[in-house]
Structure 1
Amino acid sequence: MAIAAAVCAVLFGGTWYAMRALLTVPASPVSPSVVSLGAFKEVSPPKPLPALAWTDLDGAPLPADAVRGRMTLLNVWATWCAPCVKEMPALERLQTQLGGPGFGVVALSVDRGGAHQVKPFLEKTGLSRLPIALDMPGAAMQALELRGLPTTLLLDAEGREIARFEGAAEWDGPAMVAELRKRMGGV
């Protein structure tokens, strides 16, 4: 009986260690909150952006064509979303690096507190060059069919969604900048 118990213990212990080795995922060199460039999901055919009532930080309505005329990276975020907060400086650096007549970044806040919540966040973080829009009616999440935050839509010059990126990213990283330049026609 003791031998049978010992054999079971050895077999169970060996099985446990084998299963543990199979189920253990090696540590990734990339933070799990940062999604790789390959996570861009193409939207084909391009999808028109639904009509949304956005405002600027002062409460002035933004025109429907605010994201037309150039390729736009529309990042949907909130101040309470840790991955969103983490990527905001990279979005501002991307806007500083590539922003111009052919490309722009717009950060659309879905914070219910609107400007009262977003302005202190911007002051605290020192973000001043990133164009911010507010979704005061709170319709963007549903209208854009978002599964979570942050989600970033790549819009063509006609304001149509051509690709989607779910999760946080290093927006000003060399691979991302190269990909965006390629999509802009090598600018």
Structure 2
Amino acid sequence: MRNKKAKSITVLILSLALVLTACGSKPAEGSTENKAEETTEEDGGGQASKTVFGTFESKTLDGEDVSQDIFSKADLTMVNIWGTFCGPCIKEMPELGELSRQYADKGVQIVGLISDVSDPGDETAEDIISTAKADYTHMVASNDLQNGILKEVYAVPATYFVDKDGNQVGKAYPGARDMDSWAKIIDEMLAEVQP
């Protein structure tokens, strides 16, 4: 009797811990050869830079081709990895949409990576994005991304900042944040990449 009660309490605690930490990552199915590169280079400040996304090819949710070249379009790219199943991901998207509009002329772009969608045109993802007015680019989880960055992500949302060469700036940010918190982080990361 006592052993059964202890097991029940343990299961309850573990379940609660999982729910409170974040949504579990649920990458899309399928895999191919890993093309992601993770290299370390010395930058001018003596800090190691890491190309966390490596070389990849994917599609946007709208079906357009996209690659690591997307990062060259801005001094700083905020990549928000999210899932259609993740409440905290969806909750922060309207504010990410607003930030995308506010920072568009400051050398910053926001790109979404949908961890559980591998094909363009997914209606669930499109509905979420439309409702949230998160009108920035969203990439689907191609095999390259599944076998690259998504292997390193254990919960969503997870956010990375990269410079125009795809090198990681600062640390990875697990979990959702409010608009003011993200704005402060974006300003700090932007100061690192702009002269």
Does the Cα contact within 8 Å between 1:107 and 1:133 map onto a contact in 2? Answer: yes
Give the aligned CA root-mean-square deviation in angstroms. Answer: 2.6
Q: 1:84 to 1:107 in 2, by over 3 A?
A: same
Alpha-carbon offset, residue 121 of structure 1: 2.3
User: Are positions 1:95 and 2:100 aligned together?
Assistant: yes
Letter in 2 for 1:107: G
Counterpart of 1:131 (choices 134, 137, 141) is 137
Alpha-carbon offset, residue 168 of structure 1: 1.0
Letter in 2 for 1:132: H
Q: 1:150 to 1:128 in 2, by over 3 A?
A: closer
| 5+ long unaligned stretches in structure 2 | 1-19, 23-39, 41-46
Does the Cα contact within 8 Å between 2:55 and 2:67 map onto a contact in 1? Answer: no
User: Are positions 1:58 and 2:95 aligned together?
Assistant: no
Q: TM-score, normalised by structure 2?
A: 0.64
| 5+ long unaligned stretches in structure 1 | 1-31, 35-42
Give, in whole Å, the separation in 2 of the partners of 1:156 and 1:112.
25
Task: Please list, as runs of the form range in 1=range in 2, the aligned pairs for 1:1-187 lying within 5 A after superposition.
Answer: 44-48=47-51, 49-68=53-72, 69-100=74-105, 102-112=107-117, 114=119, 115-116=121-122, 117-123=124-130, 125-137=131-143, 139-144=144-149, 145-162=152-169, 163-170=171-178, 172-173=179-180, 175-185=181-191
**Structure with max Cα Rg:** 1
Alpha-carbon offset, residue 90 of structure 1: 1.4
Q: TM-score, normalised by structure 1?
A: 0.66
Give, in whole Å, the separation in 1 of the partners of 2:176 and 2:147.
20
Letter in 1 for 2:99: L
Equivalent residue of 1:65, what SS? Answer: helix
Does the Cα contact within 8 Å between 1:109 and 1:133 map onto a contact in 2? Answer: yes
Equivalent residue of 1:51, what SS? Answer: coil
Equivalent residue of 1:67, what SS? Answer: helix
Does the Cα contact within 8 Å between 2:117 and 2:140 map onto a contact in 1? Answer: no
Alpha-carbon offset, residue 33 of structure 1: 6.8
Alpha-carbon offset, residue 67 of structure 1: 1.4
Higher helix content, 1 or 2:
2
